[in-house]
Amino acid sequence: MAEASALSWLIGNELREHRDRARKKGTEAAKVIGCTSGKISQIEAGLYRQRPDEVAMLLGFYGADRADIDRVVALAGQDDESTWWGAWTDVVPDWFRTFVGLERLASTEFTYEPIVLPALLQTEAYATAVTAFSRRVRPDRGDRVVHFRMERQRRLSEVERPLVLHAIIEESTLHRPVGGDDTMRGQLEHLLELDRRSNVDIQVIRTGVGVHSASTGPFVLLGFDNFRDAVYVELQEGALNVQDPAQVRSYSMSAKNLREAALSRRESRSLITSRLRDL
pLDDT digits (tens, 9 = 90+) for 79-132: 888 888 888 888 888 889 999 999 999 999 999 999 999 999 999 999 999 998
Q: Are residues 63 and 133 in the same domain?
A: no
One domain for residues 47 and 137: no
Q: What CATH number has the domain bearing residue 44?
A: 1.10.260.40
Is 173:184 a contact under the CB 8 Å cutoff? no
Q: How many C-beta atoms surround the C-beta of residue 116 within 10 A?
A: 20
Specify if 244 maps to a domain: yes
Confidence check: pLDDT of 2 > 60:
no
Structural domain contains residue 82: no
Give the model's pLDDT for residue 3.
Answer: 60
What is the number of domains present in the chain? 2
For residue 184, which amino acid is it?
M
Average pLDDT score over residue span 266-277:
97
For the domain that residue 249 is a member of, what is the CATH number? 3.30.870
Would you say residue 97 lies in a domain? no
145 in the same domain as 197: yes
Same domain, residue pair 184 and 46: no
**85 is a domain residue:** no
What is the separation, in whole angstroms, between the first and last Cα of the chain?
Answer: 50
Domain span at residue 39 reads: 6-77
Residue at 74: amino acid letter: A
71 and 112 assigned to the same domain: no
19 shares its domain with 150: no
The pLDDT of residue 190 is: 98
% residues pLDDT > 70 (the chain): 98
Q: What confidence score (pLDDT) does residue 208 get?
A: 85
In this structure, the answer to whether residues 149 and 222 fall within a common structural domain is: yes
Q: Are residues 174 and 117 in the same domain?
A: yes
Cα–Cα distance measured from residue 34 to residue 29, given in angstroms and rounded to the nearest whole number: 9
* pTM (two decimals): 0.92
Q: 185 in a domain, yes or no?
A: yes
